[in-house]
Amino acid sequence: MFPLADDFNATSWNDLEPVARNLLERPVEDADDLESLFKDISDMAEHVSEAGAKLYIGMTCDTENEEKQSAFMSFVENVRPKMSEVSNKIDLKIAGLDFLGSLPERYDLILRSMQNSIEIFREENIPLSVECTRLSTEYQKITGAMTVEFDGMERTMPQMRKFLESNDRDIRRLAWTKIRERRMVDSERISEIMDDLVRIRHNIAINSGFENYVDYAFRSMERFDYTPKDCLAFHEAVEIHCMPLIHSINEERRNGFEYDELMPWDVNEKSGDSPDIFGRPPLQPFEEVDDLVSITLKVFHSLSPELGEMFNRLIEGEVLDLDSRKGKAPGGYQYNLEKTGLPFIFMNASGQQGDVETMIHEAGHAFHTMYCSHHDLIQDRNYPIEFAEVASMSMELLTQPYWGEFYDSKETTDRARKMHLEAIIGLLAWICRIDAFQHWMYSNPNHTREERSKAWLDLRAKYGPKTNWNGFEEDEALFWQTQGHLFGAPFYYIEYGIAQLGALQIWMTQLDDPEKALNDYANAMKLGNTRTLPHLFESADIELSFDEGHIGNLVSSVRKSLSELSV
């Protein structure tokens, strides 16, 4: 039966059932039997993962295609719940063996993760998880279908971004207002979806014996190396060190623009970006998606021949879907095709500097995947998400010296670099705002919508830019609805912040010794999931720390680099 054939159909439970039965029923007498069981479990998991990946990719590339939508939902409803039951039974079978102590050390983390899943697994949570996936898929469908009529054309939300960057304040105001009006049409349903998600997730936590979903989420996400309290300390350090820098950047803009006050269409609420104070046109790093790909290839080749070669393999593997089309889900992601051995990259490019950063970011994930592809067990390749984002975010910073490939002058390149560094600080504030919001929502699961709005506005006062939302109070109170992670990937957000702290440290290494930075990067990424999070950080010669002074140092170094740029 093993290894399963390449064309094995893992979208069908009928095909999977005998495979699962074999894994469950076969005798496991000694460590050798157990090692081959681990290998075969991994084989099945690779097939199931790739089948799910392909259905998800199919759906997000074409959200209006009912067939693809229902194929994915059928997989979610029929295969995943059964797989989750089977893997719990396999975990229990393995946990009950009396010779686990004689397994080689390389299985320690796999066993820890298995023990953890057993402790939090409850059968009654399976249908609840399916319901959460259904609700977040509905959210995705609602937001993916949003378009507005603008400048004589129907446009998707990602396509509207360029008008928000316009130098003409009236165009920005008009575009921003149109987008907000469109979003408010669906805001009631989206609020209901969040009501349901909070209620269901709280029940999942209670069923598993936790006080609330915060504690459950930390355990189910295998956050063994930091606590909710560490996250709160992180939020505070960002408030202390990032907010003054953000306010001074915005004050410089307000003066530059000669405005009395900044409006929400002057400063991007999430990224902290704003149009150019000198009135220069928005950056145009490329026109066609093909150019984005070929220039990015050059950038990676300049940074390192090895990374250039790896990016080339992605191009040749035809695993890039990069342009923005109606009906395509928003955002960007990288999804591993575990069987094929390649990552798939999804994004909505429309010719902006942000697209360059997303391309490089997702390529960083792809490099991580490729660097650890030599591990034969899927569990050993499944790197922790905090470290996954170190791989992607440090690529954004490490490629900065080569961004000149996209632009024709040092001034323009410096402008792009300035925007990126400012956005890192802006994003840290947004990450902490979203994370603090989730901590609040799930610590107070019986909150009303009014209380939720108030909690959001309180956080906005701490972490938001000083822009004037008068006349748009309802939009302001519901702005969290634009953050998809809150729906589909609860608590998966602080990882970006933790990872940014790691990425900034690798970048600081590069400032002194570029070659060491690349070696540190590769060494750590090659470990995949075979070390704990603090150990992975150590392998890259960086520190996993939420210490206020440490974060203050990183922010100072961004401040210094900003002051050295020619714009």
Yes or no: say if 269 and 464 are a contact pair by the CB < 8 Å rule: yes
Q: Shortest Cβ distance from residue 463 to Zn ion (Å)?
A: 21
Instruction: Tell me the window of 222-230, 280-288, 388-396, 475-483 that interacts with Zn ion (CB under 5 A).
Output: 388-396
Number of residues that bind Zn ion (CB under 5 A): 1
Q: Which is nearer to Zn ion, 392 or 505 (CB)?
A: 392
Q: If binding is defined by CB under 5 A, does position 392 make contact with Zn ion?
A: yes
In the bound state, the residue with its beta carbon closest to Zn ion is 392
Instruction: Tell me the window of 208-216, 384-392, 419-427, 527-535 that interacts with Zn ion (CB under 5 A).
Output: 384-392
Q: If binding is defined by CB under 5 A, does position 394 make contact with Zn ion?
A: no
Q: Which is nearer to Zn ion, 107 or 335 (CB)?
A: 335
For the window 342-381, what string marks contact with Zn ion as x by the rule CB under 5 A? Answer: ----------------------------------------
Q: Shortest Cβ distance from residue 484 to Zn ion (Å)?
A: 13
Residue 347: what are its φ and ψ, rounded to 5°? -160, 175
Pairwise CA distance, residues 61 & 66, whole Å = 12
Q: Shortest Cβ distance from residue 304 to Zn ion (Å)?
A: 20
Q: Shortest Cβ distance from residue 319 to Zn ion (Å)?
A: 16
Q: Shortest Cβ distance from residue 492 to Zn ion (Å)?
A: 10
Q: Shortest Cβ distance from residue 359 to Zn ion (Å)?
A: 12
CB atoms within 10 A of CB 224: 16
Instruction: Tell me the window of 176-184, 389-397, 462-470, 513-521 that interacts with Zn ion (CB under 5 A).
Output: 389-397
Bridge-based pairing of strands 342-349 and 320-323 is parallel
Yes or no: say if 441 and 447 are a contact pair by the CB < 8 Å rule: yes
Pairwise CA distance, residues 360 & 478, whole Å = 31
Instruction: Tell me the window of 83-91, 104-112, 392-400, 468-476 that interacts with Zn ion (CB under 5 A).
Output: 392-400
Q: What's the token pair of residue 337? A: 């095709």
Determine the angle formed by the axes of helices 353-371 and 305-316, rounding to 10 degrees: 100
Q: Which is nearer to Zn ion, 198 or 359 (CB)?
A: 359
Q: Shortest Cβ distance from residue 361 to Zn ion (Å)?
A: 6
Q: Shortest Cβ distance from residue 468 to Zn ion (Å)?
A: 32
Q: Which is nearer to Zn ion, 155 or 365 (CB)?
A: 365
Q: What's the token pair of residue 420? A: 């990126």
Q: Shortest Cβ distance from residue 432 to Zn ion (Å)?
A: 17
CB atoms within 10 A of CB 77: 15
User: For residues 102-121, which are near Zn ion according to CB under 5 A?
Assistant: none
Q: Which is nearer to Zn ion, 327 or 488 (CB)?
A: 488
Q: Shortest Cβ distance from residue 14 to Zn ion (Å)?
A: 35
Q: Which is nearer to Zn ion, 383 or 546 (CB)?
A: 383
Q: Which is nearer to Zn ion, 155 or 381 (CB)?
A: 381
User: For residues 19-48, which are near Zn ion according to CB under 5 A?
Assistant: none
DSSP letters spanning 106-142: GGHHHHHHHHHHHHH--TTHHHHHHHHHHHHHHHHHH
Q: Which is nearer to Zn ion, 34 or 342 (CB)?
A: 342
Residue 342: what are its φ and ψ, rounded to 5°? -125, 155
Q: Which is nearer to Zn ion, 11 or 369 (CB)?
A: 369
Pairwise CA distance, residues 175 & 166, whole Å = 10
Output 229-232 pairs: Cβ under 8 A, ≥24 positions apart: 230/546, 231/435, 231/439, 231/494, 231/546, 232/436, 232/439
Q: Shortest Cβ distance from residue 365 to Zn ion (Å)?
A: 6
Rounded to whole angstroms, what are the CA distances from 408 to 130, 166, 167, 220, 564?
A: 50, 21, 21, 48, 20
Q: Which residues contact 467 (CB under 8 A, 6 or more apart)?
A: 261, 262, 263, 264, 266, 267, 269
Instruction: Tell me the window of 194-202, 376-384, 391-399, 507-515 that interacts with Zn ion (CB under 5 A).
Output: 391-399
Instruction: Tell me the window of 124-132, 310-318, 390-398, 552-560 that interacts with Zn ion (CB under 5 A).
Output: 390-398
Instruction: Tell me the window of 67-75, 236-244, 385-393, 424-432 that interacts with Zn ion (CB under 5 A).
Output: 385-393
Q: Which is nearer to Zn ion, 136 or 392 (CB)?
A: 392
In what helix (H) or strand (E) does residue 188 lie, and over which residues does it extend? helix 187-207
Query: If 0-12 CB within 10 Å is exposed, 13-18 middle and 19+ buried, where does residue 305 land?
Result: exposed
Q: If binding is defined by CB under 5 A, does position 136 make contact with Zn ion?
A: no
Q: Shortest Cβ distance from residue 180 to Zn ion (Å)?
A: 27
Residue 92: what are its φ and ψ, rounded to 5°? -65, -40
Pairwise CA distance, residues 184 & 181, whole Å = 5
Q: Which is nearer to Zn ion, 8 or 371 (CB)?
A: 371
Report which of 29, 266, 291 is spatially closest to residue 168, judged by C-alpha positions: 266
Yes or no: say if 92 and 48 are a contact pair by the CB < 8 Å rule: no
User: For residues 472-491, which are near Zn ion according to CB under 5 A?
Assistant: none
Report which of 16, 15, 38, 14 is spatially closest to residue 26, judged by C-alpha positions: 38
Q: Which is nearer to Zn ion, 275 or 364 (CB)?
A: 364
Q: Shortest Cβ distance from residue 182 to Zn ion (Å)?
A: 27
Q: Which is nearer to Zn ion, 365 or 452 (CB)?
A: 365
Residues that bind Zn ion (CB under 5 A): 392
